[in-house]
Structure 1
Amino acid sequence: MLATSLLFLLRFHANMATSMASQAAARGLRAASFRHLFLDKVKCTTVSPRRWLNLQEYQSKKLMQESGVAVQRFYVADSASEALKAAKRLNAKEIVLKAQILAGGRGKGVFDSGLKGGVHLTKDPAVVGELAKKMLGFNLTTKQTPKDGVKVKTVMVAEALDISRETYFAILMDRSCNGPVMVGSPQGGMDIEEVAASTPELIFKEIIDIFEGVRDDQALRMAANLGFKGPLQRQAADQIKRLYDLFLKVDATQVEVNPLGETPEGQVVCFDAKINFDDNAEFRQKAVFAMDDMTESDPTEMEAAKWDLKYIGLDGNIACFVNGAGLAMATCDIIDLHGGKPANFLDLGGGVKERQVYEAFKLLTADPKVEAILVNIFGGIVNCAIIANGITKACRELELKVPLVVRLEGTNVTEAKRILTESGLPITAAENLDDAARKAVAAIKKE
């Protein structure tokens, strides 16, 4: 599975230097879906659905609010005048204004209006209106957005609360435990992987019985491990149980709160949250999935998802059609080793249909950077004959004009080779991945 392969590769890449191509591929895969690596302390196995649902911050907070989870008071506005009204309505000592886009790094971003920062604090409601004028309708560029940025259509106007202490808390599915697990640390507000690596003793785990749910003693123990004391311990335990209720209610695969904070006034508040959903439960969660903001999604990735394909765009000129994340990253590395650069790759995954192969070629050839295509399929259960039929159909109907190198290994390989040979198409066969990468690079250089 993609998740299992990627978890292994993340561990592998943490200890070995990789090529720029492989690192780019890894970044793309990590951006496409949430991955937590708690090292040997937690050993959680992640699950990868077909497509991750993307919610804006205010949408996640709305779901939490509806489940009784304590969050900052907030309003949403899509105009400067609405933002001003919201700021006045809050009647708060301090207000935080946040641009709502799916990319991270908003605080250090820059708008094409000239405004610096997608997150601003102020005690004057009038300033909120002025700042909103420079946010709404303008593109915000951060380290995680395209170079031209993303247009901001909505802002969140929230009460700013002081945080006296930050903790980390998450509920996620763990296959090794056959169900949900709570994970927490008193070291919140920072990268949890770093905490697990440097101070693994500060990572705490509680297995949740799916029939009993979160027991009182478990919630109190986790609250104590997070460092909450006195009345705050009971308050934190209550928040933990409410978060689990939310986890079940929306069919989540993960609810992460970082930080779960403590205020000087003695409140336990979920200041920021990320929720991942089980796409297989979409039929039950129509209201939640209707909130999916796909305006920021890459059109090619969205089209690929329609056919159960995973697409990652890169900067080179050799397109890769593979099955599995590990093979994708290995293909990128070996292309780079031979002096080439991957333009993109499509991951077919474990299943295969002739139409998927055809649609994959349509997407790959639509990239103007592509000067060659490398097909690298490997796996005992993959029906290579189906892939061969899809390739020949795509080459003919799409009138493929770039060199095509094919390496197939799986079931019906002999039949697949016969199909490709008898097609009469200019397809270059390869015996292994190294041979395929070398031939793809050579084909471009020859031209």
Structure 2
Amino acid sequence: MPAATPSLTRPTMRVPPLDRGGTAALAGEQPIRISRPSPRSFFGFPFAFRAETRYPPRMPRRLETCPSCRAFLDQGASACPYCGVGLRVRRRGAWGAVVKAFEQAPVTHALMLSILALFGAEIWMDQRLGVGGSLLQFSSLATARLGANWYPLNVGEREPWRLVTAIFLHGGLVHLLFNAWVLVDLVRLCEQIYGPSRVIAVYLLSGVAGSAVSLLWNGERFHNVGASGALCGLIGLMAVYGIGRRGDLGAAAVRGAMGRWLVYIGVLGFLLPGIDNAAHFGGAGAGAAIGLVLAGDAPRRSRAWTRYVWRPLAGTLVAGTLLAFGAMGTNQTRWEEADRLAQAVEAADRFRDALRAASVSGGGATFPAAALRGALLDFTGREEPDPELAEAREAAARAARAWIAGEGSEAGVAGPLGRYEAILTARAERNRFRVGLLLAMRDRPD
């Protein structure tokens, strides 16, 4: 007896019943009973009323089908009322659009949000410091405090974490807009081809390589911020991808697009001032080198490499990035200390100038007592957390008050003031670059 042949017919699509107006009654809707006048009436007054069952009027809805029984369902249903299969809830509105965007390109949107958040932090820091920066060009002090790549700080102050934090900072609004344009177009394409873990690894490694090359090439001449080194790394990665697949039409389009990006960046780098070409070359070289490593790995196919190599590497790099920003946060205490020392140096200099003016006056009616009192008030008006500095400053202030009252001399003030300045110089020497930068910024804003 031949075996029964399984049916190959598709499951019948179940359609809800229609009401009298021809509208589908979806699951979960309750009918209502309404009373309307009978056709028989006398001058418009009905003799009787009759009851009808109708479904409430509504706007047309977007429907979806159950993956199991193929019945029409209202979009957003959590389970099918016919077969009981659970459904994935689709979010609507703005939040649904955000979730969908992150599902399609998580790395692109995560990087964009990180860069925008730090751009807001740069605006806040620049306004808080008030040293002459603007939205189009932040001050060097603001970017340095938030993690700019700068040789005296990276090497002199032993802060290598700046190689990472500088990737997420920008010098101004125009700088941000250009890099955001490249990031949205380029990172999304890389995610589609290589997947999130590889893109994260290439982005961060290329960015660090670009920062390192910039540090070695530029030295102390200027500092470096921006995501362009990391983006050039992705351009190098995709250029190698396009060159290695010459027979593929899609790869040819990628190759042409990456070539145009390299030309644009190279031309702008040599025509416009203030662009760090060393970071661009370093990032592009690192990305191309990683692309050669990935050349034999069919993108998104080698699941073993993705699971055991690229995902752990990407997770380690993300953790290192978070630690770098944690170090940047704790580093703010050193900047606050340097700011107090810089204010103390300025107040001591003004007090010393007032003493010189008083000494050359010759005493008598020309003695500038009011000016000396004002300088003394400025000198002692700050809170001094260092006990040794506070004691030395108070000794100099007592000698100055005695001289103003006619009970002392200039020599009696010069001795305690000299001891105070010696202690202050020793404290500032530990944080020499920061104190010098703060004093220079106050004298000559950016």
- TM-score by structure 2 length? 0.24
Q: Which has the higher contact order (CA 8 A, sep 6+)?
A: 1
Structure in which a larger fraction of residues adopt helix: 2
Structure in which a larger fraction of residues adopt strand: 1
